Amino acid sequence: MNTAWVKQYVPAHAAGRTFAFTALVDSVGTGLYLAGSAIFFVRTIGLTSAQVGVGLAVAGCAGLLATVPLGAVGDRYGARRTLVLLQLWRAVCFTALAFVNGPVAFVAVSVMLGAAEAAVPPLTQAVVASTTQDGDRVRTLAIVRTVRNVGFSLGALSAVPLLATDSVWTYRAIVLGDAVTFVLAAGMLARIRLIRRIEPERATSVLRTVRGFRDWRYLRLAGLNGVLSLHMTILSVGIPLWTIQSTEAPAGAVPVTVIVNTVLAVVLQVPFSRLAETLDGSRRALRLAGLALGGCCVALAAAGRAGPWTATALLLGATVLMTLGELWQAVGSWELSYRYAPEDLRGTYLSVFSLGPALQEICGPLLITAGAIKAGPYGWGVLGVVLCLTGAVSARVSAPKARPLPTSGGA
C-alpha cells in the first residue's frame, strides 16, 4: 500500500512531531470544554446569557490588550519559556474556573484567561520557527492546524456522554480535564529542542513592544490579513443566519456546511502549505484567498434567489470556496508574518500580526449581520468585491521590492 500520502501529515523532525502531539492533547481538551462550556456557565456557575456575553467580551478585550506585551515578554525571556508558562497559567485559570461562583468571579477569571489565550497562537508560531528548518516551517504549522481540527472534533465527541449525565461535577470535570491537558502540553513543550536561540536585549523590551506598532507596512499587512480572516465569521455566523433567514434551503444544510469545512480543512491544509514555501508563493496564496472568498460571497448572494435544491447546492459550493480561501489565507499569512518579522523581535511582531484576526472576531459578526445579511444579495456582492481587492492589495503590500526586510536596528 502506498503510504506517501500519510507521510505528508507527519512532521519530518522530532520537534515537529512533539508539536503535533502537543496540539492534539491541547485541542482535545479545548474541544471537550467548548462542547460543554455554555451549559457549565449557566447551570454550574449560575450565570445569565447576558452575564456570559459580558464576561467573554471583557475577556476578548483583555486578550487584545495583552497580546503584544506578552509577545515582547517572549522576545525578552524566550518564546518557548513564555509559552510553557502561559500553558501552566491557563491550567491554573481553568482550575479556578471550575469552582467559580457568581458573575464577578467569572469575569475576573475570564480576564486572566483571555489575556493568556490570545498570546498563545503567535508565541506558538515563534516557537515553531525556532525548532524547525525554514523549509519545514509552514508545513509543520499546517500539520499542527490539521491535528488541532481533529482534536477539537474528538474532544467535542468525548463530551457527548458526559453532558448526558447533566451533573454539576461532570461539568466541573470537563473544565478540570481541559486544565490537565494544558499541564501536559506545557511539559511536552518544555522538552522541545531549539535549533535557533536568539539572545534577548532585555533593557529595551518596552520600547520594542511599541516599535511593533511603528512598522506601518507590517501593520497594514496585519490589518489586511484580518479582513481576509472574515472566513471565520462567514462560516460561524454568515452562512447559518443567511441559510435560515434568506434562502429556501433546509435548516439541515447548516451542519452539513460545518462538516464539509472540517473535512476539507483536515484533508487539504497540509497539501496547500506547499504553495507558501516561498515568499512569492505566500503572496499568491493571499491573492487566491481573496478570489476564493469573493467567489464564496457571490455564491451566497445567488443562494438567496434560488429554489431549495439550487440554494442548497450553492451553499455547499460557497462553503467549499470559503474553505479554500481559509486554507490559502492561513498558509500565506504564516510565511509572510514570519518573513517580515526581525529575528530578535519575532514574538512582538507575530503578536501584532495576530491582532488582525482578533479584531475580526469582534467586528466581523456586526459586519456580516448588519452589513452583508441585512443588505441581502447586494451586500454579499459588495463584500465579495472587498475581499477580492483585499487579497490583491495584500499581495502588493507584501512584495519584497516595497521595502527591505526590517531589522532589529529600526522598524
- 134 touches 196 (CB < 8 A): no
**CB-based contacts of 261, cutoff 8 Å, min separation 6:** 235, 319, 322, 323, 326
In this model, does residue 407 exceed pLDDT 50?
Answer: no
Distance CA 20, CA 33 (A): 20
Q: Which three cell numbers stand for residue 47?
A: 450565570
Identity of residue 111: V
| CATH architecture type of domain 9-197 | Up-down Bundle (1.20)
**Residue 7 vs residue 77, higher pLDDT:** 77
Give the number of other CB atoms < 10 A from CB of residue 390: 24
Do the domains spanning 9-197 and 214-401 agree at the CATH topology level? yes
Q: What is the pLDDT of residue 91?
A: 95
**361-374 per-position pLDDT tens digit:** 888 888 888 889 98
Torsion of CA 154, 160, 163, 165, to 10 degrees: -130
What are the distances in angstroms from CA 281 to CA 37, 218, 395? 40, 18, 10
User: Using CA of residue 301, residue 306, residue 307, residue 313, what is the dihedral sign?
Assistant: negative
Instruction: Provide φ and ψ at 285, rounded to 5°.
Output: -60, -40
Identity of residue 319: T
Q: Where are the alpha helices (DSSP H) in 99-195?
A: 103-131, 134-163, 168-190
Q: Is this model's pTM higher than 0.95 or not?
A: no
Give the number of other CB atoms < 10 A from CB of residue 189: 21
Q: Which three cell numbers stand for residue 179?
A: 486544565
Of 53-57, 223-227, 244-248, 407-411, the one with minimum mean pLDDT is 407-411
Show me where the domains of the chain are located. 9-197, 214-401
Considering 104-108, 142-146, 204-208, the range whose residues carry the highest mean pLDDT is 104-108
Closest CA to 312 of 295, 321, 300: 300
Decide which of 3.40.50.300, 3.40.50.10470, 3.40.50.150, 1.20.1250.20 is the CATH code for 214-401: 1.20.1250.20
| pLDDT band at residue 198 under the 50/70/90 scheme | low
Instruction: Provide φ and ψ at 410, rounded to 5°.
Output: 180, 150
- DSSP assignment, residue 171? H
Q: Where are the alpha helices (DSSP H) in 191-307?
A: 205-214, 216-228, 231-233, 239-246, 253-273, 279-303
3-state class of 410 per DSSP?
A: strand
Distance CA 161, CA 14 (A): 35
**170-181 per-position pLDDT tens digit:** 889 989 999 999
Closest CA to 349 of 230, 215, 254, 228: 215
3-state class of 407 per DSSP?
A: strand
